[in-house]
Chain A
Amino acid sequence: MSTETPEAPDSPPSSPTPDRGSRFTVRSALVWGAVAVVGAVAWGVIALSRGESISAIWLVVAALGSYAIAYRFYARFIAKKVLEVDDTRATPAERLDNGTDFQPMDRRVLFGHHFAAIAGAGPLVGPVLAAQMGYLPGTIWIIVGVIFAGAVQDMVVLFFSMRRDGRSLGQMARDEIGPVGGVAALIGVFTIMIILLAVLALVVVNALAKSPWGTFSIAMTIPIAIFMGFYLRMIRPGRVMETSLIGVALLLLAIVAGGWVQESSWAPAFTLSPQALVIALVIYGFAASVLPVWMLLAPRDYLSTFMKVGTIVLLALGVILSAPMMKTPALTEFASSGKGPVFAGALFPFVFITIACGALSGFHALIASGTTPKLIQKESQVRMVGYGAMLTESFVAVMALIAASVLDPGLYFAMNAPAGVLGPTVETASAAVANFGFTITPEALTAAAAAVQESTLVARTGGAPTLAVGMSEIFAGVFGGAALKAFWYHFAIMFEALFILTTVDAGTRVGRYMLQDTLGNVHKPFRDVNWKPGLWITSAVVVGAWGYFLWAGVNDPLGGINQLFPLFGIANQLLAAIALTVCTTLLIKTGRARYAWVTAVPLAWDVAVTLTASWQKVFSSDPTLGFFAQRARYSAALERGEVLAPAKDIDQMGTVVVNSTVDGVLSIVFALLVIIVVVNAMFVWYRALTSDEPLGSSEAPAVESRIVAPAGLIATPAEKRAMAAAGSRE
């Protein structure tokens, strides 16, 4: 084996694995020069075309060019110089290989697993909402943010967790920052999970409300998943592919059948109000949390993963083949005025809050410090798995932004402004859109709804319906024409709802386990995840918590998405702040202080964004922006017995007062958590930088690696030679 040469143990880290591409040949200079030029041209087209619409292809090219350069140069710099990945050192997967939790997994397979775990509805929803400010701010943030913040966070967390046998983010926060930081991280993780589940469930509710087609199709996924679960358990154990194929076929049938149901006498049974859907979701969430995983969660996960990847590939093909024109302006006036109807607040900080997944998402740190570090084969693969998977998610976000931007902006605002602002009919909606400065006729609104066979598209907030209309437009342009538009719309709704529900299942269960673990400190039996009373109580608490916010969001006269989405964004970026703080602390403590800027700069940016947004949400005197100003305005009116639009009666006035109080208090809690963690860490940094002797290391001891495997997607000639010498095959 190549790693068993006598001098290997004390030779410098990079010598046994050939240093790939360190010699900059003429050929690679030409190739990378060309990539840089093409990317720069695309950026130039995006930046310089004012007033005329451009093709979406330019966004795709700018994104791919930037990713390629970033992956080749910046990610490589971080891996080699900052983290000093060491392929002579065995990863936990190799050292602790037990065939289950820990085992070396092929890098390409692990990439697939990691990507499926990090990418969900987030990168699809955020960019759609952010399109209210035009496509330019969102595009720039998605691409620049992922390169310098999001992908860096994922990769560095993955690396440090890997060096610590796969410790979780919470454990690392406690070990490196201290007990206070650890507790703050734990509270942060739990609250963000609750808000995340509520907001995602709200997206589903808004997509399915009053749509018998969508509701029927999604309802059918439950019996399909249960059938798959029994099939895999009883009839054909382990035949996942075969089962998934059957499942996908049944799923497509359910989408088609939804169209028949809509036309049939069953339609009223599947036409549910938002409130009824909330109750259905809460019951479903509870059942999914207490049922055995093989019955519902695992088969649903297979189904949603296949659908997710399939649809993303389809969307990429659709965008590239149809090359649609961007109809949204590059920048709308809402970017500076902060008076946008979709969410309140100006470009800074709210674009950076609204688009979390796809640019920088703290939630990923939980995945990067969970299963993935226990499966990675070689240290150098953190670049491909951590940085690479996040770049892929960012690309998904760019495509979602494109799908929202190919819509007529009038239609976009008619779909995404809160119902209270748009009024009940297409005429009132048309008038309200005119108030925003865009035009769409009532007839055009009716026609757009008819084209996708929905009763109305007015105030279908949450991002999913908008994305679905955009995707149906793109798909219909390539596959099947206008006749299939309704099918593609419901296909897109189905695929989003499917993986949001998978997130809700898994999230409820993870939240429940966290709660059981915490309560186990008080009353021991709670620790046992199969102890029935504990299982029911904690499931009910978690479901009740997100159910509360979901219920509040559905009944909020100001629009649940408008109110809750910023909170979700702030929570997610708070988690990113904790993750980046842990990374920076570890860089400093492990003697890499001169490179600490790699995570400290994104951290500073993220803290500035999170705290500015929290500040505005708490202290702004503008009632559309500040929760407490909103509370003051509505409670003063309530005392006088007045009803303020968009509330319709005294009850709704009370709802606004309660919601704005809860949301405001949460904003304060989130901001305090960030401040506690960061300030606490700064003391640790100071101690580490001024102490004469190095602080104790929390790394697992180095053991020599015997595995020979490539670092990147494609093995280099040198890697192939090393593998041949070691007798291992791809």
Chain B
Amino acid sequence: MIAALRRAGAGVLWYLREVSGEADYDRYLARHAREHPDAPPITRREFEKRRMDRAQEHPQSRCC
């Protein structure tokens, strides 16, 4: 019962982190480590800044 609740909670947290884009940096780190193991990754601050710059250039429309 407790284990099931804990699993459900972890699932909800995973979903919210994914949907909100909070997990994007983790994914970037994993990818970076795989593809460019020698170069240091950019900081979270820099990563988020670039993400916003991209959003600036590709606004997503919201429907009605």
Contacts and interface: CB of A to CB of B under 8 A. Distances in A.
A503 B55 contact: no
Nearest to A289: B59
Given A106-B18, A237-B44, A241-B16, A196 B64 contact: yes
A237 B18 contact: no
A503 B62 contact: yes
Contact of B22 (A99, A239, A293): A239
B28 A364 contact: no
Nearest to A502: B62
B17 to A, nearest CB: 7
B36 to A, nearest CB: 12
Interface string A95-110: 0000111000010110
A112 interface: yes
A371 B60 contact: yes
A233 B22 CA distance: 13
A333 B20 CA distance: 47
A320 interface: no
The A interface is mostly helix, strand or loop, or mixed, namely: helix
Nearest to A106: B18
B13 to A, nearest CB: 8
Contact of A529 (B44, B57, B60): B57
A464 interface: no
Nearest to B47: A238
Contacts of B39: none
Contacts of B63: 117-120, 122, 357, 361, 363-364, 366-367, 503
A69 B38 CA distance: 53
A298 interface: yes
A509 interface: yes
A677 B17 CA distance: 43
B9 interface: no
A80 B40 CA distance: 45
Contact of A292 (B17, B27, B52): B52
A529 B22 CA distance: 27
A647 to B, nearest CB: 30
Contact of B60 (A232, A239, A506): A506
Given A99-B31, A238-B48, A363 B64 contact: yes
A121 B64 CA distance: 5
A302 B64 contact: no
Interface of B: 15-22, 24-25, 27-28, 31, 44-45, 47-49, 52, 54-64
26 contacts: A99-B31, A106-B18, A109-B19, A112-B15, A112-B19, A118-B63, A122-B64, A125-B64, A196-B64, A232-B48, A237-B45, A237-B47, A238-B21, A238-B25, A238-B48, A240-B21, A244-B20, A294-B52, A298-B55, A357-B64, A367-B63, A502-B62, A503-B62, A506-B60, A506-B62, A507-B62
